[in-house]
Amino acid sequence: MHEARDSIDQTFGLVPTMGYLHEGHLSLVRRARAENDVCVAWIFVNPTQFTPGEDFERYPRDEDRDTRLLEAEGVDILFVPSVEEIYPPGFSTVVEVRGIITEHLEGQFRPGHFRGVTTVVSKFFHIMQPDRAYFGQKDAQQVAVIKKLVRELDFGIEIVVCPTVREPDGLAMSSRNAYLERSERKAATVLYRALSAAEQLFRQGGRRGGALRTAMTNILATQPQARPDYVSVADPETLDELDLVTGRALASLAVYIGPTRLIDNVVLE
């Protein structure tokens, strides 16, 4: 691959995914195609970013449909490695961004999650040597962690962040939406309604982190099927929780709707 990259003068755009693709993924692919000579996609349900008891085994998979969708979008190269190819026996290397940025929010409820992400992403980057890699703003903390990873380890790759793609009623697209029963699907709109309440308060001049969080919590409380893991107003880069918003802020939340855990966020600016 290295030889191939040296001998041709093309730019590579990488879209790493866990498959079961939706419009959010496809928006990454379109952007990667538009900005690069070669668009590479990856489908790999990475076991090391699931914590024990999570949904690794039952995570939705449909390789045939994914392949058709990616072909239709004009993806040039598609990798679908097995777990054994990525993690051969005895594998024991980890790449880890330490500190608040990975311990807070998702990190608090999914210990080891980001270590799994940064390790597998480092492998993807080495194998593909992309010029740019595309991630969705939906996973805002992942974006912050990967940007820090790339900067601190000098990967020399541009991280391109694409907007969250939403259903008409505001629900952020997610492969895990497939888990939702009909009544849960309806209840799940509460996440974006809570974030919108924070956005509205912010537009009206609300800058206190506590008030912004309360605005979200109050909306979530109206939905009996919603059980929040966290509700946060934090610095978008460091993930430090903010008492007072002086610049940009990331309003984010993780909420169980029935047995399904969903996350969403908006940037206040």
Q: Which residues are catalytic?
A: 25
Q: In what helix (H) or strand (E) does residue 63 lie, and over which residues does it extend?
A: helix 63-72
Nearer to a second copy, 23 or 37 (CB): 37
Interacting residues with a second copy between 38 and 97 (CB under 8 A): 88, 91-97
Nearer to a second copy, 72 or 94 (CB): 94
Interacting residues with a second copy between 176 and 235 (CB under 8 A): none
- Kindly indicate which of the ranges 106-114, 146-154, 162-170, 251-259 contains the residues binding a second copy, using the contact rule CB under 8 A: 146-154
- Kindly indicate which of the ranges 6-14, 16-24, 27-35, 41-49 contains the residues binding a second copy, using the contact rule CB under 8 A: 6-14
SS3 22: coil
Q: List, as own/partner pairs, every contact residues 84-88 make where C-beta atoms lie below 8 angstroms and the sequence separation is at least 24, other chains included.
A: 86/44, 86/46, 86/120, 86/123, 87/47, 87/48
172 is a site residue for a second copy (CB under 8 A): no
Nearer to a second copy, 149 or 187 (CB): 149
C-alpha distance across the termini of the chain, in Å: 41
- Kindly indicate which of the ranges 18-26, 121-129, 209-217, 255-263 contains the residues binding a second copy, using the contact rule CB under 8 A: 121-129
Q: Which residues of 119-143 are buried (b: 16+ CB within 10 A; e: fewer)?
A: bbbbbbbebbbbbbbbbbbbbbbbb
Query: Which of 17, 48, 122, 252: binder of a second copy (CB under 8 A)?
Result: 122
Q: How far apart are CA 224 and CA 179, in angstroms?
A: 18
- In whole angstroms, the minimum distance from the beta carbon of 78 to a second copy comes to 18
Closest alpha carbon to 1 in 32, 43, 40, 33:
40
Q: For residue 145, what are its two tokens? A: 């962690």
Query: Which of 101, 172, 180, 195: binder of a second copy (CB under 8 A)?
Result: 101
8 A C-beta contact, residue 231 and residue 238: no
- In whole angstroms, the minimum distance from the beta carbon of 129 to a second copy comes to 8
SS3 171: coil
SS3 110: coil
- In whole angstroms, the minimum distance from the beta carbon of 66 to a second copy comes to 23
Interacting residues with a second copy between 148 and 167 (CB under 8 A): 148-149, 152-156
Query: Which of 9, 57, 64, 84: binder of a second copy (CB under 8 A)?
Result: 9
Residues that bind a second copy (CB under 8 A): 1-2, 5-7, 9, 88, 91-99, 101, 118-119, 122-123, 126-127, 131, 148-149, 152-156
